[in-house]
Amino acid sequence: MMSTPIQWWIAAAVLVALELTSGSFYLLMLAVGAAAGALAAHLGLDTPVQWVVAAVFGAGPVYVLYTLRKKRVRPAPGANRDINLDIGSTVQVATWDANGEARVHYRGADWAARFGGKGQAQPGQHRIKAMDGNTLVLEPVPSAHGNAAQAQSNTPAA
């Protein structure tokens, strides 16, 4: 009969092989737990203690990573730059209607746009902040003149 540490190492190897075929990070953590069980067996710890060590080192990180991923705030798909490469691009808005909507020329076509910034919608340069279906959600780009005037007003007088 095989020794207990060898059984743990075989279990770890099988879990790593399964992880390589499935791409599941969770199986890799369970393989780490099996390796910890093997080390506990090499130290001569009793079988129930080996299982506890394997559970703590295998299921513990799975639980921690699962709760961290669950708590992470993800941007809405329409505002996620990883999904929509248009976010961050700039467009020129000639006029806004009373509802805060406009038509803008972007990528060779006319697009519907909606104001998504703070304050009153003003014509000028705007940045795409999100996409709502086929509608661009825009926010104003701070003008260089406005920033220079603001910087001058914030400097102390000599």
Of 11-20, 41-50, 67-76, 96-105, give the lowest mean pLDDT range.
67-76
Cβ-contact 31, 12 below 8 angstroms: yes
Q: Report the mean per-residue pLDDT for the chain.
A: 85
- The sign of the torsion formed by the CA atoms of 44, 34, 32, 14 equals positive
Q: From CA 81, how far away is CA 103, in angstroms rounded?
A: 22
The first and second tokens of residue 134, run together, are 């086929």
Q: From CA 85, how far away is CA 106, in angstroms rounded?
A: 13
Cβ-contact 49, 58 below 8 angstroms: no
CATH number, span 77-141: 2.40.50.140
Q: Which residue has the higher pLDDT, 134 or 50?
A: 50
- The whole model's pTM is what? 0.49
Which 3 state secondary structure label does DSSP give 45?
coil
pLDDT score, position 1: 72
Every domain of the chain with CATH number 2.40.50.140 lies at 77-141
Count other C-beta atoms under 10 Å from residue 116's C-beta: 20
Cβ-contact 78, 131 below 8 angstroms: yes
Say if residue 138's pLDDT is above 50.
yes
Mean pLDDT along residues 74-102: 83
Cβ-contact 136, 150 below 8 angstroms: no
pLDDT score, position 119: 83
Please give the single-letter amino acid code of residue 99: N
